[in-house]
């Protein structure tokens, strides 16, 4: 499905991004608001980390009813590992936004991203929320995307439109990175809005179906945030008839495609990343084996530094696959880097390495490992490990 990386209005929603003073840089946008004209169908997925942030608990609790009307998201402070005061702060922030909007507090879900272990200033939240409500605009998604950025170097949005159930349906989304398995607690936050009429259960299924090929198929550094959240909301403003099986299929595909496009933008903007690399493992005996091998390659610091150095280091890739726990036989597997076959029949194809090294100079390439043992496959999007990754993360202060 065609995905446009620009923000666009979605009928039934308004957006804002303002500066509440949470970030150190004066005037930087750090408070975002998404508001549906009426309570919207909603579904969400969250971090699997055992240490979860207060806003994750509050959002998870509220989305259970399948309806949300607003999202209040701040950057500059993760409100994670903050105990009961953190829970109160998340709830109070929602109550304040609900008061300003004139809706029930249970219809407002909070998100936070930034430094862990600290509370944000509630007075700043109140002032910021009032300003955000005044600034709500149908074309405000770009501002919202900017307000949730942390180490992101650019806002990330996407839009798609398609015909289904007798009308044109739009889905737009905004995310911040830099990975579902994300660096420095900076957290992956994602919001998808559609004007379609869709029940919460169907939204949840769409989202779960999209995850394995989008937000769960990327990695920047193998670390997993405490705040990761993806929300999908449907305003119903498109007024479509009930989605038939084929409409639902189209809708699901659109959610998967826009999620994949946004996930890709997250990795492209990974901390210090200079290259986007797809790790494809096929021919595995099981899906679990394929995923294990792909993830181990995608997360190996040795493989990622070799990507940075444009070094067709077959040994590191096979070492990672071999240590992943996936069953493999080194005499059977075949490996390609950037489309160039570099290993087969238990041997390195030495003469192919210079060409593979050249292919690695591109900003995007694929590493494909065929284990030739079965029919299972997995694909993970990763980036390289550069000096800038160390710089960004060693100089960041709690």
Structure tokens at 236: 């119903």
Is there binding between residue 294 and its own copies (CB under 8 A)? no
Spot the catalytic one: 187, 226, 250, 382.
187
Bridge partner list, 163: 168
Which listed residue (70, 233, 321, 380) binds its own copies by CB under 8 A? Answer: 321
**CA distance linking residue 139 with residue 134, whole number of Å:** 14
Binding segment toward its own copies, per CB under 8 A, in 58-66, 100-108, 110-118, 197-205: 110-118
Which listed residue (62, 124, 146, 184) binds its own copies by CB under 8 A? Answer: 184
Per-residue binder mask for its own copies (CB under 8 A), 228-267, x = binder: ----------------------------------------
Is there binding between residue 185 and its own copies (CB under 8 A)? yes
Angstrom distances, CA of residue 173 to CA of 3, 255, 397: 11, 10, 30
| Residue in the block written with tokens 């009307």 | 69
Is there binding between residue 153 and its own copies (CB under 8 A)? no
Whether residue 108 contacts residue 90, with contact meaning beta carbons closer than 8 Å, is answered with no
Per-residue binder mask for its own copies (CB under 8 A), 7-36, x = binder: ------------------------------
Contact set for its own copies, span 362-391 (CB under 8 A): 385-387, 389-391
Whether residue 2 contacts residue 260, with contact meaning beta carbons closer than 8 Å, is answered with no
Whether residue 240 contacts residue 169, with contact meaning beta carbons closer than 8 Å, is answered with yes
Which listed residue (98, 165, 328, 352) binds its own copies by CB under 8 A? Answer: 328
Query: Nearer to its own copies by C-beta: 206 or 313?
Result: 313
Is there binding between residue 355 and its own copies (CB under 8 A)? no
**CA distance linking residue 370 with residue 301, whole number of Å:** 22
Query: Nearer to its own copies by C-beta: 220 or 234?
Result: 220
In the residue annotation, 151 being an active-site residue is answered as no
Residues in the chain: 398
Output DSSP code: residue 242: P
Whether residue 34 contacts residue 157, with contact meaning beta carbons closer than 8 Å, is answered with no
Output DSSP code: residue 286: S
Is there binding between residue 83 and its own copies (CB under 8 A)? yes
Shortest CB 102 distance to its own copies, Å:
34
Shortest CB 305 distance to its own copies, Å:
4
Maximum C-alpha span of the chain: 69
Whether residue 289 contacts residue 326, with contact meaning beta carbons closer than 8 Å, is answered with yes
Of 232, 252, 235, 236, nearest to 191 by C-alpha is 232
In a 3-state reduction of DSSP, which class is residue 174? strand
Of 111, 104, 103, 144, nearest to 44 by C-alpha is 111
Shortest CB 46 distance to its own copies, Å:
13
Is there binding between residue 115 and its own copies (CB under 8 A)? yes
Output DSSP code: residue 88: H
Binding segment toward its own copies, per CB under 8 A, in 164-172, 206-214, 215-223, 258-266: 215-223
| Residue in the block written with tokens 């579904």 | 43
Shortest CB 373 distance to its own copies, Å:
12
Shortest CB 312 distance to its own copies, Å:
6
Is there binding between residue 352 and its own copies (CB under 8 A)? no
- Taking the CA atoms of the chain, what radius of gyration do you get in angstroms? 22
Which listed residue (33, 107, 116, 254) binds its own copies by CB under 8 A? Answer: 116
Binding segment toward its own copies, per CB under 8 A, in 92-100, 154-162, 205-213, 308-316: 308-316
Residue 50 CB burial class (10 angstroms; 0-12, 13-18, ≥19): exposed
| Residue in the block written with tokens 């806003």 | 55
Would you please indicate which residues are annotated as catalytic (active-site) residues?
A: 187
The residues that touch its own copies, with contacts defined as CB under 8 A, are: 48-52, 78, 80-84, 115-118, 183-185, 221-226, 300-302, 305-306, 308-309, 311-316, 318-323, 326-328, 330-331, 343, 345-348, 350, 353, 385-387, 389-391, 393-398
């Amino acid at each position: 499905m065609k995905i446009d990386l620009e923000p666009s209005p979605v009928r039934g929603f308004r957006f804002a991004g303002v500066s509440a003073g949470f970030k150190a840089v004066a005037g930087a946008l750090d408070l975002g608001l998404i508001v549906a004209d009426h309570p919207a169908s909603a579904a969400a997925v969250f971090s699997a980390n055992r240490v979860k942030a207060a806003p994750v608990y509050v959002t998870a609790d509220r989305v259970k009813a399948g309806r949300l009307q607003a999202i209040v998201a701040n950057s500059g402070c993760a409100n994670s590992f903050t105990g009961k005061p953190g829970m109160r702060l998340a709830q109070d922030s929602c109550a304040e936004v609900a008061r300003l909007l004139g809706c029930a507090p249970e219809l407002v879900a909070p998100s936070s991203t930034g430094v862990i272990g600290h509370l944000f200033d509630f007075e700043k939240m109140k002032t910021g929320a009032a300003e955000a409500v005044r600034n709500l605009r149908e074309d405000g998604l770009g501002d919202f995307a900017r307000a949730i950025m942390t180490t992101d170097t650019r806002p990330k949005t996407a839009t798609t439109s398609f015909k289904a159930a007798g009308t044109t349906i739009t889905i737009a989304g905004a995310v911040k990175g830099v990975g579902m398995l994300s660096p420095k607690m900076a957290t992956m936050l994602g919001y998808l809005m559609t004007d379609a009429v869709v029940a919460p259960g169907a939204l949840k299924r769409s989202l779960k179906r999209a995850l394995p090929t989008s937000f769960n198929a990327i990695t920047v550094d193998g670390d997993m945030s405490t705040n990761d959240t993806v929300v999908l909301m449907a305003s119903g403003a498109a007024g479509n008839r009930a989605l038939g099986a084929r409409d639902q299929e189209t809708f699901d595909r659109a959610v998967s495609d826009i999620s994949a496009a946004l996930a890709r933008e997250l990795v492209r903007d990974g901390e210090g990343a200079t290259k986007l690399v797809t790790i494809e493992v096929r021919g595995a005996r099981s899906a679990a084996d394929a995923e294990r091998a792909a993830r181990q390659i995608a997360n190996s610091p040795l493989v990622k530094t070799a990507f940075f150095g444009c070094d067709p280091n077959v040994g590191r890739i096979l070492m990672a696959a071999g240590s992943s726990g996936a069953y493999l036989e080194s005499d059977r597997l075949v490996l390609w880097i950037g489309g160039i076959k570099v290993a087969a029949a238990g041997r390195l194809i030495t003469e192919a390495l210079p060409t593979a090294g050249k292919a690695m100079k591109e900003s995007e390439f694929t590493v494909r490992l065929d284990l030739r043992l079965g029919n299972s496959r997995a694909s993970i999007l990763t980036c390289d490990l550069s000096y800038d990754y160390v710089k960004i993360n060693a100089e960041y202060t709690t």
